Structure 1
Amino acid sequence: MKPSLAGGRSDVRLYDTLDSTNDEARRLSEGGETGPLWVRSLEQTKGRGRRGRTWLGEPGNLFTTGLFTLTCGPAEAANLSFVAALAVAEAIDPHVAEGAVSLKWPNDVLIAGKKTSGILLESWQGPTGFHLAVGIGVNVRTRPDGIDQPITCVADHVGAGQPPVSAEILFETLKDRFHDWFDLWTQKGFAPIAEAWLARATGVGQPIIVRLPYETLEGRFYGLAPNGALQLEQANGAILDVTAGDVFFG
């Protein structure tokens, strides 16, 4: 059994500044906290993304981590990256043009094809069970410079006459939508999550390049495997499941 978040009930810890919301979630768990709980900071000094990449924590943007204690293992818990992506997308939707928000495997949220959010899952075994930190960063008011991919922020896409968007507004919607998708995952498994994610995904059916640490793969983005792996259709028609890598569209 997975825990339920029915009703959206979870604690929120708000900080002015943290090194990393994921690190704070881990510290809380080591102190006996089991969650569900959200850690949020107005500023983050040592945020990180996948593979140790830096995630700049400028004030005005959203930095948050959900802490959960699960009875499933790491492989199944990885589904929550897709749950988080759907929640982020739906939090941004009301503030930008219809259809502007899309998802990119494995953990990016895009606006008009440019990255505005990343998700980092980290897990560990503690005295009270298997703990998972779902770290989420969203460029709300500003976007960093010097990044090697197209980057944007939500504020750049808010229409004329609409009220300015804030990290607080996005967080409240994100939290509620995460809880809704989490409960669906609890009740129905990964299949409806994968279906919803693919409906918003960039590049399905298109040629892609997947860069791994020691090789580069090319093929067509076929879909998602039951475990969330990217399914790459190769030139010979074989389907290869890719569990990690950087995706580029050819």
Structure 2
Amino acid sequence: MRLHWLVNYNFLSFSKIDSTNDEAVRISESGISGNFVILSNLQTKGKGTKGRDWESRAGDLTFSILLQNFIPVKNHFHINFIIANVIFDVLNEIFISYNLQHKIELKWANDIIVNNKKIGGILIKFITKGKNNFCIIGIGINILKVKSNLCNFAISLNELGVTINKDILLDKIITRFDMEIDDYISQGEKFSKIKNLWLKRAYKLGEFVHIWDGSQNISGLFSTLNNDGSIKLEISKNRFKNILFGDIYDHYLYK
């Protein structure tokens, strides 16, 4: 790995850990200052959105980024869309290098989709402790062939014709993320450019979707993304509903 980003991050690597996000929480509570990248070969208690289990296998990429006092708390939700765009760009660059054509999409709020199957996910957590604020970004990318019971709704880089070491993939993602964050801060932390790019890549934009908000299913036309990161649904003609938390309903999440 090139690891140019080590100038801005402390790097921790584990052979096995409960969860890289949990380790990031422990660091935030310890009083240690700085930004961290936390990598593990295996997670025993990895979690996805809404506390769902995220199965981790040696060879797949599972890591977390811990940012301390990086941007104002009110803008923390921007990070979710920045990192999603970064992963899109990295995967697209890899596919081009292999002369492969695959359809990559970003599914609100946290999933990375390739050819209508999930290849990865993002889990964001925000913590405020005294005068300090922390943003924890957990990322999982499938590299190895997925298990047979998951193959109808999940996919991996290997199955898409890509052979890549997870350390190289990590370096590509962090290098790009560091560059995009620098640009974002230098341009005044504006969300419009990030949002517009994300919308061009959005899964099922302009289509009828179902959203599970944790307690109920809400259906409507995926109209756009609002400036607070919420999704705007047209639930009937000229009648709209904004949803800040939830997932676009898919069979691989709610079987």
Query: TM-score with structure 2 length normalisation?
Result: 0.86
Name the counterpart of 1:3: none
Q: Deviations over 1:218-245 (max 9, x none)?
A: 2111111001111111212122211122
Counterpart CA distance in 2 for 1:217 and 1:240 is 9
Equivalent in 149, 154, 158 of residue 151 of structure 1 = 154
Partner SS for 2:236 = coil
1:123 equivalent in alignment to 2:122: no
Q: Deviations over 1:43-97 (max 9, x none)?
A: 1111001111001110000111110112522x52122111111122222223333
Counterpart CA distance in 1 for 2:25 and 2:148 is 29
Counterpart CA distance in 1 for 2:146 and 2:121 is 13
Deviates more, 1:141-150 or 1:42-51: 141-150
User: Is the 1:61–1:142 contact (alpha carbons within 8 Å) kept by the matching residues of 2?
Assistant: no
Counterpart CA distance in 2 for 1:223 and 1:34 is 38
1:81 equivalent in alignment to 2:64: no
**Quick one: structure 1 residues 33 and 143, their matched pair in 2 at CA, closer, same or farther if it must change by over 3 Å?**
farther
Counterpart CA distance in 1 for 2:127 and 2:47 is 17
Counterpart CA distance in 2 for 1:195 and 1:7 is 30
Counterpart CA distance in 1 for 2:104 and 2:34 is 30
**Quick one: structure 1 residues 177 and 227, their matched pair in 2 at CA, closer, same or farther if it must change by over 3 Å?**
same
Counterpart CA distance in 1 for 2:105 and 2:237 is 29
Deviates more, 1:143-152 or 1:183-192: 143-152
Counterpart CA distance in 2 for 1:127 and 1:84 is 26
Name the counterpart of 2:202: 201
User: Is the 1:11–1:36 contact (alpha carbons within 8 Å) kept by the matching residues of 2?
Assistant: yes
Q: Deviations over 1:145-197 (max 9, x none)?
A: 555971111111126xxxx2121111001001111222233234111111111
Partner SS for 2:63 = strand
Partner SS for 2:210 = strand
Partner SS for 1:234 = strand
Name the counterpart of 2:218: 217
**Quick one: structure 1 residues 247 and 77, their matched pair in 2 at CA, closer, same or farther if it must change by over 3 Å?**
same
Give 1:119 deviation, angstroms: 0.6
Name the counterpart of 1:72: 72
What is the count of residue pairs matched by the alignment? 240
Counterpart CA distance in 1 for 2:143 and 2:67 is 25
Task: For structure 2, list consecutive stretches of 5 or more residues without a partner in the other structure.
Answer: 251-255
User: Is the 1:107–1:119 contact (alpha carbons within 8 Å) kept by the matching residues of 2?
Assistant: yes
Name the counterpart of 1:14: 13
Over the matched positions of the two proteins, sequence identity in percent amounts to 26
User: Is the 2:10–2:37 contact (alpha carbons within 8 Å) kept by the matching residues of 1?
Assistant: yes
Deviates more, 1:60-69 or 1:135-144: 135-144
User: Is the 2:49–2:110 contact (alpha carbons within 8 Å) kept by the matching residues of 1?
Assistant: no
Task: For structure 1, list consecutive stretches of 5 or more residues without a partner in the other structure.
Answer: 1-5
Which AA in structure 1 matches 2:107? K
The Cα RMSD (Å) is 2.3
User: Is the 1:10–1:38 contact (alpha carbons within 8 Å) kept by the matching residues of 2?
Assistant: yes
Which AA in structure 2 matches 1:32? G
1:171 equivalent in alignment to 2:174: no
